Amino acid sequence: MSLVKVKNLKISFKQYDNIVHAVRGISFEINQGESLGIVGESGSGKSVTFMTVMGLMNSPTSIVEADLIEIDGINVLDQSKENIKKIRGKIAAMVFQDSMTSFDPLHTIGYQIAETIITHKNIDKKEALKKAEHLLERVEIQNADKVLNYYPHQLSGGMLQRSMIAMALSCEPKLLIADEPTTALDVTVQAQILQLLTDIQQETNMSFVMITHDLGVIAETVDRVLVMYSGKIMENSNVFDIFNQPKHPYTKALIDSIPGREPGKKRLKEISKEDRDLWYAGT
């Protein structure tokens, strides 16, 4: 059963006297319990696609057009801002690249996680703080009872990202979107965060989206992959076929550019317009 349905999504941005077309008519679905990777270089349209799905693209300079953007049977395009706020957190949640900017520096970690829980669930502050402590323990933060009283600047990058994941999971969403969640972390912590996300997805059977430019991350965390380039979906396939039987020239170029995969490989080549149009998958 499809949890997310997107049909013919187009996203543009007004820029002085010009319009930049960031996403050019893409369509895809995400099934309940499925893990999906979105991969492509910077500017390919990965993040803005899912910010739009989450109802976060409300800038006066952005233009969003689509036949359908649906989460759990709810058409996001037909919803008011207040209704979309109810969807975020309760049905779908997002973990961003820079966790420091996702927390308010004036409030403790515990207060902010508890506030999210109280907003979506009918429970008191004491119960919400207890749940927040349990969530911090679940994402493998030691001394969770003390961390509840810490401010964001008192935590390391890895602990902050774990706290961000805990807050995203606080209302048991059906969909978790992780946008480059490990880019700012060192290799060891990166591996721990990726394993944590994978474990939680398997335990809860929630749908999971990993947005990244790193094919190594994709190989470790998802079942299916969408390859994006220049605002279009170039390839939509399972993770095994993406790495072993890539069909699109851009996918092949991405894989060939992985450091250490094969000696003598060169940097990623630009794909011609003819190849993009010829291989455009659209779904």
Q: Which two tokens stand for residue 123?
A: 């429970």
Mean pLDDT taken over the chain:
87
pLDDT in tens, 79-118: 888 888 888 878 999 998 877 888 999 999 999 999 999 9
pLDDT at position 63 over 60: yes
Query: What average pLDDT score do residues 211-219 get?
Result: 87
| Residue bearing the bigger pLDDT, 58 or 235 | 235
Residue pair 277/250 in contact (Cβ under 8 Å)? The answer is: no
The sign of the torsion formed by the CA atoms of 255, 259, 264, 265 equals positive
Q: Return d(Cα 209, Cα 73) in angstroms, integer.
A: 18
Whole-angstrom distance, CA of residue 80 vs CA of residue 58: 12
Kindly state the tokens that stand for 201. Answer: 């997805």
* pLDDT band at residue 134 under the 50/70/90 scheme: very high
Q: Are 250 and 276 in contact (CB under 8 A)?
A: yes
User: 268 falls in which pLDDT band (50, 70, 90)?
Assistant: low
* DSSP labels, 53-69: HTT----TTEEEE-SEE
- Exposure class string for 222-253: b at 16+ Cβ within 10 A, else e: bebbbbbbbbbbbbbbebeebbeebebbbbeb
Q: Helix (H, G, I), strand (E, B), or coil: what is residue 177?
A: strand
Q: What is the structure's pLDDT at 260?
A: 63
Residue 283 has pLDDT above 50, yes or no: no
Q: In terms of Cα–Cα distance, which of 157, 152, 169 is closest to 94?
A: 169
Q: What is the pLDDT of residue 182?
A: 80
pLDDT (mean) for 133-146: 93
> What are the distances in angstroms from CA 274 to CA 17, 66, 85, 174, 248?
28, 25, 41, 39, 12
Lowest mean pLDDT, pick from 54-63, 124-133, 201-210, 274-283: 274-283
Q: How many CB atoms lie within 10 A of CB 174?
A: 18
- Residue whose token pair is 């972390």: 185
Q: How many CA atoms lie within 13 A of 37 on its CB side?
A: 27
Report, in this order, helix, strand and coil percent for the chain, each rounded to 5.
Answer: 40, 25, 35
pTM: 0.87
Above 80 in pLDDT, residue 173?
yes
Residue of 103, 77, 113, 88 lying closest to 174 (CA atoms): 88
